[in-house]
Amino acid sequence: MKRSLSFELLRYALILAAVAITLIPIVWMATMAFKPIPEWTASGADLTWWPRQPTLDNFRFIFGQETSELIVALDKTAVRPVISSLLSSIFGTLIAMVCGTAAAYGLSRFNVGGNLPLALVQLRLFPPMAVMIPIMIMWSFLGLVDSWWGLALVYGIVTLPFAFWLMKTFFDEMPREIEEAALVEGCSRFRVFMRITLPVMRAPLASSALFVFILNWSDYLIGLLLTTKEWVTVPVYMASLSSSMTGQLYGAKAALGLIAAVPPVVMGIAIQKYLVRGLTFGALKQ
């Protein structure tokens, strides 16, 4: 009994330690966002965890308002990058989920496609730079460079393998008897897919969409190469926040990072009732 209790205490202690280590960067970013410039440029004994004089100057600065301490000329505010990231990530997720779900259902139910699964995996096997060079040339020829729709199309293509393999696993675990019963009653295959299969797969669809959205939202390399000025994304804009006077604008970056964390968190909260079900879909299947 004592051994079991000691084991449980050790297990919980390790879990708490892992959670604390994971939360340290998040807490540091959250507190840095509200620090004035003397505090986030301090070093040594002057460096503190919590802001002594909390301020919203970092948030005002990235949205173009003048502050008392951050006297730096911004080429652009954070409004356009946030809109660009939202549009490209949302539409890229829609492209990946629609195409990936359709392909996954076809391969799972009809065993068609031949080497399509392997071909989709190969999209992720190449080094990103090797793939981006021809994409940059094609997008430049088509006039899609520095546009959110061109970025969304690339995001949809790049994250398609994740959506496909996640949904194929879920479709393979779904009992076919439900669909077969509807087919016997006279439903067409398309109506079975729209009226029965997709409602049953709400939880897997939600968890897969969240995973794909986070991949698109946090991308840096594709956004850096395919956007130049008008439609830069949040990670690219964040990397550009620097000054010759103070160096890296850590307070402004932390404020923007805090704002950038909002969409995935909101999306996760919105689908939380489906999230656990989606991640454990088929776990009890014998």
Going residue by residue through the chain, which has 286 residues, state the pLDDT in tens, using 9 for 90 and above: 556 777 788 888 899 999 889 888 888 888 888 888 777 766 655 677 788 888 888 888 888 766 555 555 566 788 899 999 999 999 999 999 999 999 888 888 887 766 777 777 777 777 777 788 888 899 999 888 989 999 999 999 889 988 998 888 888 888 888 888 888 888 888 888 888 888 888 888 888 899 899 999 999 989 999 988 889 999 999 888 876 555 678 888 899 999 999 998 888 888 777 666 555 554 444 4
Residues 53 and 119 grouped into a single domain: no
Domain-embedded: residue 72: no
Number of domains in the chain: 2
Residues 58 and 176 grouped into a single domain: no
Residues 120 and 207 grouped into a single domain: yes
Q: Domain range for residue 239?
A: 78-284
What would the DSSP string read from start to end of the chain? -HHHHHHHHHHHHHHHHHHHHHHHHHHHHHHHTT--HHHHT--GGG--SS-SS--SHHHHHHTT---SS-----SS-SHHHHHHHHHHHHHHHHHHHHHHHHHHHHHHHH--STTHHHHHHHHHHS-HHHHHHHHHHHHHHHT-TT-HHHHHHHHHHHHHHHHHHHHHHHHHHS-THHHHHHHHTT--HHHHIIIIIHHHTHHHHHHHHHHHHHHHHT--HHHHHH-SSTT--HHHHHHT-EETTTEE-HHHHHHHHHHHTHHHHHHHHHTHHHHHHHHTTTTT--
Predicted model pTM? 0.84
